[in-house]
Amino acid sequence: MTIPDAKWESRMMELIAEVSVMKVSQIKPEHRLREDLGMDSVCSLELISMLAEEFGLDISVEEAAGVNTVSGAIAMARKHIEAA
Amino acid sequence: MKVLFVYAGFERHSEAHPELRKWVPMNEYLGSPSLGLSMMAAVTPPQIEIEYRDDRVEKADRPTDADLVAMSFFTPAATRAFELAKYFRGQGKTSVAGGIFPTAMPDECERHFDVVVVGEGERLWPKLLADFAAGAVKSRYTEDQAYPLDDVPLPKLSMYFGAERDGFRPDDYPVQITRGCPLQCQACVLPLVMRKSIREFSLPHALGQLRQLKREGKRACLTEDTSWFPGRPANHLKELFRGMIEEGLEASISYVGISMPQLLVASDEVLRLAREAGVGMFYLVGGFDPITMRAFTGVDAKALDRAHKAIARAHRVGIVPYTSFLLGNDEDDVGTVDRMLEFAAASGIEKAEFAIFTPYPGTPSWDRLNQEGRILSRDWRHYNDANVVFRPAKMTPQQLADGYLRLWREFYSDKGHWADKCQAERTIQF
Instruction: Give the H/E segment covering residue B81.
Output: helix B78-90
Identify all chain A residues contacting B197, using CB atoms and an 8 Å cutoff.
62
In B105-223, where does DSSP find H-type helix? 106-110, 124-133, 158-161, 190-194, 203-215
B2-11+33-142: CATH topology is Rossmann fold (3.40.50)
* C-alpha distances out from residue A14 to A54, B239, B292, B403, B419, Å: 12, 31, 21, 37, 46
Q: Which of A2, A21, A41, A51 to mutate to test the interface with B (most CBs of B within 10 A)?
A: A41
CB-based contacts of B420: which residues, under 8 Å, 6+ apart?
Answer: none
Among B182, B186, B262, beta carbon nearest to A62? B182
In this chain, the answer to whether the domains covering B2-11+33-142 and B149-428 adopt an identical fold is no
Nearest CB to B290 within list A40, A61, A65: A40
| Nearest-CA distance B158 → chain A (Å) | 35
For A63, the closest chain B residue by CA position comes to B182
Q: Which of the two residues, A48 and B1, has the higher pLDDT score?
A: B1
For chain B, which residues lie within 8 Å of any Cβ of chain A, measuring from their own Cβ?
182-186, 197-198, 229-233, 259, 261-262, 264-267, 288-290, 294, 300, 302
Is the backbone of residue B362 left (phi > 0), alpha (psi -120 to 50) or beta? left
Report the C-alpha gap between B410 and B338 in whole angstroms: 10
3-state secondary structure of B29: coil
Q: What digits encode the pLDDT tens for the residues B379-392?
A: 999 999 999 999 99
The A residues from 50 to 79 touching B (CB cutoff 8 Å) are 50, 52-53, 58-62, 65
Rounded-to-integer distance, Cα B318 and Cα B328, Å: 31
| pLDDT over 90 (residue B225) | no
Residue A26 clears pLDDT 80, i.e. is over it: yes
Residue B61 has a pLDDT of 97
Chain B residue closest to A38 (CA)? B290
Are residues A60 and B231, on separate chains, in Cβ contact within 8 Å?
yes
Which of B226, B302, B329, B363 should one mutate to test binding to chain A, selecting the residue with the greatest count of A CBs within 10 A? B302
Lowest-confidence region among A43-57, B272-286, B367-381: A43-57
Alpha-carbon gap: B387 to the closest alpha carbon of chain A (Å): 27
> CATH for B149-428?
3.80.30.20
Mean pLDDT taken over chain A: 85
Contact criterion met (CB below 8 Å) for A55 and A2: yes
Chain B: closest CA distance from residue A1 (Å): 14
ipTM value greater than 0.90 = no
Q: What is the pLDDT of residues B152-173, one digit of tens each?
A: 999 999 999 988 888 788 889 9
Give which of B181, B350, B116, B263 is closest to A61, Cα–Cα. B181
pLDDT in tens, B126-142: 999 999 999 999 999 99
Of B186, B230, B289, the CB nearest to A49: B230
Percentage of residues in chain B having pLDDT higher than 90: 77
Q: Which residues of A touch B302 (CB under 8 A)?
A: 21
Residue B226 in this model has a pLDDT that exceeds 90: no
Q: pLDDT for B289-337, tens place per residue? A: 889 999 999 998 989 999 999 999 999 999 999 999 999 999 999 999 9
Nearest CA-CA partner of B218 in B178, B280, B256, B169: B169
- Of the pLDDT bands very low, low, confident and very high (cuts 50, 70, 90), residue A4 is low
- Substitution target in B226, B229, B264, B304 with the highest count of A β-carbons within 10 Å is B229
What's the pLDDT at A3?
52
The one-letter amino acid code at B247 reads: E
Say yes or no for a CB contact (<8 Å) between B300 and A40: no
Q: Quick check: B261 and A38 CB within 8 A?
A: no
Domain positions in chain A: 8-20+29-83
Contacts of B231 in chain A (CB under 8 A): 48, 52, 58-61
Run of H or E residues at B98: strand B94-98
Please state, rounded to an integer, the average pLDDT across all residues of chain B. Answer: 94
Contact B91, B98 (CB under 8 A): no
Domain ranges, ordered by start, for chain B:
2-11+33-142, 149-428
pLDDT at A2: 52
Give, rounded to a whole angstrom, the gap between the first and last alpha carbons of chain B: 39
Query: What phi, psi does B131 have (nearest 5°)?
Result: -65, -40
Residue B310's contacts (CB-CB under 8 Å, 6 or more residues apart) are B260, B261, B263, B264, B284, B291, B321
Q: How far is B185 from chain A (nearest CA, A)?
A: 7
Report the C-alpha gap between B84 and B67 in whole angstroms. Answer: 15
Cβ atoms B100, B74 nearer than 8 A: yes
What distance in Å separates the CA atoms of residue B165 and residue A52, rounded to the nearest whole number? 48
Q: Element (H or E) spanning B273, and its range?
A: helix B268-276
Asked if the A8-20+29-83 domain carries CATH number 1.20.120.1200, the reply is: no
Measuring CA to CA, how many Å separate B83 from each of B62, B301, B408?
Answer: 12, 48, 32
Contact B231 A59 (CB under 8 A): yes
